[in-house]
Structure 1
Amino acid sequence: IKAVRINCLGDVKVLERPRFEAVEIQANDTIFVDRNTSAIAQRIDIPIFTRRLPHTLNWSHPDPDAKKKLGSSSGAQNQDATFLHLCCDPNAEPNYRAGFLGWGRAPIKWENDVGSVVVVRQDKKPLTPFHVEVLCGYAHNRVKPLFLHSMGRYGHGLPLSKDAVLTMICRATFVIYWFE
């Protein structure tokens, strides 16, 4: 099954892997049992499963060459994967003990030390790096600002309601983003 690996910062900068990499997985891969989903992808009718991968290297203590390439950033950083997992439940309350940060935020396990991630369609149809790149771009560039606005982060005017935000996270706005 054609899937996509979203490589973490360390895999990209140190190991020189592409940010979005085509991979093949078996039909009986554990991603179909032990996985996460993306509420954003569900809202735009692209059913996906995601699974974090074991770290390629120990990004907590990189060697000097790797540290030089990473600068002050963590090698396990993966903002693309984080943005896919933003919470779209308008009634979600933070539960820090459970690692849940609430509306417009990704769970802690998707915020910190994420590493590289595999993404596959739930229906096992082929997925390309370009598809996942656009999906991540949509989550980052279109959806995240809507969440921030609803939280009052833009200062002027009344924040968007959560219902308004959810109405805007839809197939139509994704298609517009796709063709931009």
Structure 2
Amino acid sequence: MAHPVATNHARRIRRAEPDEAGGLEALQERSSTHWGYPPGYFDWAGDALAIPDAYVRDNPVFVLEEDGRSVGFYAFTEQDGNLLLDKLFVDADEIGKGHGRLLWLHAIQTARTLGRSEFVVASDPNAAPFYAAMGAVQYATKPTPEPSWTLHMFRYTLTN
């Protein structure tokens, strides 16, 4: 699938390569430290946080680089017939610098390129205000095996 590469000064967003899976998984783990989750907090999630090479190969996964360093990424998957923004993570030391917004805007274009009119997001409770600020509408919450942690479900409808 051809997809334009977005650039902004020393930033660019590009398709991830399968051999980057381990690095993306580590970035995802670092990102979660921003919210104060202790080490091992997400052990209850099993393989849900794993990013194997096949995940990157088989799904639209895009990396935001700044000065040649990966500072964030997002990924879409299919779930129950919906396009799911399965991951959107910014490295912990880069949160609050506008990277999440850049990834979000790119994700909207990717969804459009995929011929979709909407997508859903299963959000960490701490990230829910970000998705609401981006125009996504929360429609449900879903319990998880961890009683203190609930997924916030959002839907984003693409506009023309």
Normalising by the smaller structure, the TM-score range is: under 0.3
Structure 1 length-normalised TM: 0.26
Structure possessing the higher radius of gyration over alpha carbons: 1
Instruction: Please state which structure has a larger fraction of its residues in helix.
Output: 1
Greater length-normalized contact order (CA 8 Å, ≥ 6 residues apart): 1
Instruction: Please state which structure has a larger fraction of its residues in strand.
Output: 2
